[in-house]
Amino acid sequence: MTTIGIIGTGHVGSNLAKAAVAHGYDVVISNSSGPGSLSDLVSELGTRATAGTAEQAAAAADFAIVAIPITTVGQVPVEPLAGKVVIATINYFPKRDGHIADIDNGTTTAPGVLQEHLPASKVVRAFSMIDAADMSGDGHPKGDPKRRALALAGDDAEARQLVAGLYDQFGFDAVDLGPLAESWRVDPGQRAFVTHQNLAELRANVASAKRG
Ligand SMILES: NC(=O)c1ccc[n+]([C@@H]2O[C@H](COP(=O)([O-])OP(=O)(O)OC[C@H]3O[C@@H](n4cnc5c(N)ncnc54)[C@H](OP(=O)(O)O)[C@@H]3O)[C@@H](O)[C@H]2O)c1
């Protein structure tokens, strides 16, 4: 049995937890308010779900999902995630999050901020360019005309493969952007951000992306 440790159980974390249990994963979910605040969500998710602290979710994880604001990345537990694949859904909106100079000047990216905080983990940007509700509600089998494509980026090829497999299980085609440094191609403001697109459309959208 594979356990996904989920850090952040707002719009994104709760929908990815739903998709995960629906596809046979165990999940340990966590937020900043503590496991006691998650009893309703655990009941809704069923027997595959338990709540813990972020440390416990990280420690239990075969791989992890970090779905929190970029402003709290510094609180993500480091040691229990060492060596593990960590999916970053994090986006950066300067108006909402405040300015981060290294993203503004192109030195790093939103998921790059998490990778810098977790140097021994394999961070992959994924699920950052789709509405939270659609993560659990708009997956479709391969070949279905309604099937959407999502992009992923990360510096570790095996980690990217794991995430491509997860996309497939959850009902999405995958476009692999390569290293994390390429992940700006699906940033807010880019054509690929939060739109219905199939494989060919997403490939075209990321190819035509322009750094602002
Ligand atoms: N909403 C979308 O449709 C969407 C789509 C794609 C990507 N994203 C991105 O994904 C991230 C999460 O978005 P969201 O809409 O799910 O946000 P949200 O609804 O505001 O939820 C944020 C979650 O993070 C938790 N949290 C904050 N700091 C934490 C920490 N240090 N440790 C553990 N948990 C922590 C919060 O816990 P408490 O509630 O206990 O404070 C809450 O459960 C953001 O970066 C967002 O830009 C959002």
How do residues 142-178 score in pLDDT, each as one tens digit?
999 999 999 999 999 999 999 999 999 999 999 999 9
Residue 89, ligand 1, Cβ within 6 A: yes
How do residues 6-32 score in pLDDT, each as one tens digit?
999 999 999 999 999 999 999 999 999
Q: Report domain extents, the chain.
A: 3-207
DSSP secondary structure letters along 189-205: TSTTSSS---HHHHHHH
- Quick one: average pLDDT of 67-79? 98
Please give the Cα distance from 25 to 155 (Å, whole number): 25
Gyration radius from the chain CA atoms: 16
Assign 19 to helix, strand or coil: helix
May I ask the CATH architecture of the domain 3-207?
Answer: 3-Layer(aba) Sandwich (3.40)
Residue nearest to atom 15 of ligand 1 (CA): 11
Residue 179, ligand 1, Cβ within 6 A: no
Please give the Cα distance from 30 to 7 (Å, whole number): 5
